[in-house]
Amino acid sequence: MSGIKLEDAKLGLATGITLLFWASAFVGIRAALDSYSPGHLAVFRYLIASFVLFVISLFLQIKLPKKKHIPVIMLNGFVGIAIYHSALNFGELYVTAGAASFIINAVPIFTAILAYIFLNERLRKYAWVGIFISFLGVTLIVFSDGFSFNLSSGGLLVLLAAFCQSAYFVLQKPYLKIYSPLEFTTYVIWAGTILMLVFLPGLDLAIERASIEDTLAVIYLGIFPGALGYIFFSYVLSKISATRTGSYVFIVPVLTIIIAWIWLGEIPGIISLVGGTIAIVGVYLVAKK
């Protein structure tokens, strides 16, 4: 019994740390975009994350991946790191950190659908009702711009990021039975960083011109939401279903709004709040046992 409680405590702690780190990432991205382009921010952040994981891998002497798994690792890096973070960074040029975190609430919805198709994870009937409700909420946010209903290109980019993150959740799930969360996270982040080297030209000048606060924000993003956040998340995903893991993302907007208010003094628009609330209600139905 004590072993079960300890395992539950570890799972809860890992989940809480992941959500806190990932919620703060939306705010950190918004802050760093004052000095860095979306491409420079993405590659700089994951060069830092890759270095952190390189040091950890040397210290813990993690094994190399099997050759037959390299294509899957590259695909995970492409979808879950390169495309996800590029789309999110470009999207946050046009939407607030709070709105972006609300749109990312589509992650549990996409994850549930993909996990149903590819992992044979089944949902109850009222969970599908929750998916429909959440889609309504996310659609409200994507088509809002402050207090209007104009199509937001930034919102669509963040929605693309949400789909990519969901695909990453489902793609990596089977391989967490073969590799440890640290090992697979390390491989994937290295793969994604290599693919993002297309953004490398001009990064040195960007760092030279950037404010120290914005550079520190990027370093924070690389170490905590990047390297450590992904390790903790993979640990959670290795213990429970992809659908249930993805459903925890509904907590992120609440944390992000608090952090954005403290860090940036940023308040989301009314429509974004309404849409986000609808999305949260829907995802709650998906996550409810």
β-sheet bridge partners, residue 213? none
> Strand, coil or helix: what is 265?
coil
d(CA 31, CA 39): 15
Type of residue at 188: V
- Going from N- to C-terminal start, the domains of the chain cover 2-287
**Contact predicate 172/78, CB 8 Å:** no
Task: Specify the pLDDT at position 1.
Answer: 47
CB 80 within 8 A of CB 49: no
For helices 125-142 and 270-287, what crossing angle results, to 10°? Answer: 160
Q: What is the pLDDT of residue 145?
A: 47
Query: Quick one: pLDDT at residue 8?
Result: 79
CB-based contact 134:108 (threshold 8 Å): yes
Separation between Cα atoms, residue 204 and residue 44, nearest integer Å: 10
For 231, phi and psi rounded to 5 degrees?
-65, -50
Any idea which of 42-46, 75-79, 106-110, 251-255 has the lowest mean pLDDT? 251-255
Asked if residues 283 and 119 have their Cβ atoms less than 8 Å apart, the reply is no
177 C-beta neighbours (distance < 10 Å), count: 7
Round the average pLDDT of the chain to a whole number and report it.
86
Structure tokens at 171: 């793609």
pLDDT of amino acid 272: 67
Is the pLDDT assigned to residue 58 strictly greater than 90? yes
Cα(first)–Cα(last) distance of the chain, in Å? 22
- pLDDT for 238-258, tens place per residue? 998 888 788 777 777 767 777
The larger pLDDT score, comparing residue 112 to residue 77, is at 77
Cα 284 to Cα 288: distance, rounded to the nearest angstrom: 6
Per-residue pLDDT tens over the stretch 253-289: 767 777 777 777 767 677 767 777 887 787 677 666 5
CB count within 10 Å of CB 125 equals: 6
Give the HSE-up count for residue 174: Cα atoms under 13 Å, Cβ half-sphere.
11
Q: What is the pLDDT of residue 153?
A: 78
For residue 182, what pLDDT band results from cuts at 50, 70 and 90?
A: very high
Quote the pLDDT of residue 147. 41
Q: Residue type at 92? A: E
**pLDDT confidence tier of residue 205, bands split at 50, 70 and 90:** very high
